[in-house]
Amino acid sequence: MIYTRILIGLIAILVTIATIVFIGINEPDRQDEFKGAFLGRSIEVGAGVFEQYCSPCHGLKGQGSPRAPQINSKEFFENRLRDLGYAGTMEAYLTLTIRGGRPVKSDPKWPQNMPTWSVDFGGPLRNDQIGNVVDFIMSWEKDAPSVGTEPAAITAVGDTPEERGRSLVEVGAGCIACHTIGGTGGSVGPNLTNVYAEKGPDYIRESILMPSAVIAEGFSDGIMPQTFGQTLTEENINDIIAYLKSVSGQ
């Protein structure tokens, strides 16, 4: 009886050791596989966060817009750190900029500063989400196109004023990056869903052209870009007002 037990015990120990050795031999490969998978998942999550929070200004694929520079470019990955005289890595630079925003504009032509995105600085994103976005942006590096960083012109798409206005609000001028209109959008500026019903068209026109004329309660001056007067045409502004009228009171 005792012999049998000792024999079974010995076999079991040998099986355990053999399995542990087997796992150990496979450890380097397994670790590589996991690293790749976790980076892949991080890029997937980062792409989703980028689409939701970053693309309204930087473009769906980082190609830039009238509001923010192109970041998906060879020049950005190769020269940016040198131009700034920044000693850290690209990942560190991206993390820092996304988390804390930019206190000054790198080029006065951009209508606004990069906002602070990290919850640590009053933004909407957790730091792990910012890590995902950094992984996503870094995944552009190897195929980044070699083009300049000139912003594209603001364009309106659609047949009716409301449709054109909506395309301006959502894509062209990108109002929803900061303002909530009709259920979605940012919270940097006031909710504009009912602004037409409450304040009327002249107020909207004035606020686009002279953002500092009236500051909504609870918000501070100097955040809304002052440049829409130059980038938007009269027709663009009328279209935006038409769209705001159509969503107002819904």
Partner 1 sequence: MYIPGSGFFNHLADKGLRQAVSDKIEETTRAVLAGIGVKEARALLRGDPPTEKPNPRYRAQVKSFTLHLRPKFYQEGATWFTHTFRLGFLSVFFFVVETITGLILMVYYTPSPDVAYSDMINILSNVNYGKFLRDMHRLGAELMVIVVALHMVRVYFTGSYKHPRQFTWLTGVVLLLVTLFLSFSGYLLPWDQLALWAVTIGTSMADAAPLVGPQLNLILRGSQDISAGGLLRFYLLHIFLLPLVAIIFISVHYYKVAREHSISLPAAIEEGEAPPAKVAAAKRRIDILPDLITSEIMWITLTLAGMVLFMAFVYSAALESHANPLKTPLHTTAPWYFLWLQGMLKLGDKTWWGVIWPTVIFLILFAVPYIDPGPSRLAKNRKAGITAGVVVAISIVVLTFMGTGLWGVPAPPAEEIIQEFIPEEGVGLVRELGYAGLPTGSALPAFLCDRTNQIDTEIPVDYIPGGVYDVSDPTTYPGGEMNHVLAELRDAVDRESNKRGNNFFDGNLQFTVQDWQSDLKRVSVIVTWLEIPEGSTDNIAISKCFEKVLYFQQKSDYDLLEWTVGR
- Which of 111, 244 has the CB closer to partner 1? 244
Evaluated on CA atoms 33, 88, 59, 118, the torsion sign reads positive
- Name which position in 90, 140, 149, 215 contacts partner 1 (CB under 8 A): 140
Evaluated on CA atoms 165, 106, 139, 117, the torsion sign reads negative
| DSSP at 53 | I
User: Per-residue contact track with partner 1, 172 to 191, x per CB under 8 A?
Assistant: ----------xxx-------
Query: In terms of DSSP H, where are the helices of the chain?
Result: 2-49, 55-58, 74-84, 90-100, 127-138, 161-167, 195-199, 201-209, 228-231, 234-247
Q: Facing residues of 181 across strands?
A: 184
User: Per-residue contact track with partner 1, 2 to 41, x per CB under 8 A?
Assistant: xx-xx-xxx-xx-xx--xx-xxx--x--xx-xxxxxxxxx
User: Per-residue contact track with partner 1, 58 to 97, x per CB under 8 A?
Assistant: ---x------------------------------------
- Which of 162, 232 has the CB closer to partner 1? 162
Is residue 143 involved in binding partner 1 (CB under 8 A)?
Answer: yes
Is residue 141 involved in binding partner 1 (CB under 8 A)?
Answer: no
